[in-house]
Amino acid sequence: HAARHVRLSQPSMSRALTRLRGIFNDDLLVRGSSGLVPTPQAERLAQMLPPVLDALRGMVNRQGERRSKTIMAIPDHQALILLPPLLPLLREHAP
């Protein structure tokens, strides 16, 4: 379900989660009675993401107002988290 939400195949999502677990040295998600449950570390990371995503959305929206080229570079592990929610905005505002 989560893989479909971010438009990844299930194997790609599993590989991404494995890489993130290694990077953060934490399980991030553990099985609970009702499915996967975020660990305290994952909860802390999730709290840090909204301002970062808002800043990136602002960059994308401003890019749509002008037609110059913008290059963004982020490490792979951050791209796995940040890009899925941003790709629709990028496609819409900066094709």
The pLDDT tens digits of the residues spanning 33-76 come to: 988 899 999 999 888 888 888 888 787 776 656 666 667 777 77
pTM, full prediction: 0.57
Domains and CATH numbers, the chain: 2-93 (1.10.10)
76-86 burial: b if 16+ Cβ within 10 Å, else e: eeeebbbeeeb
- Percentage of the residues of the chain whose pLDDT score is greater than 90: 21
Closest to 28 (Cα-Cα) out of 9, 49, 8, 7: 49
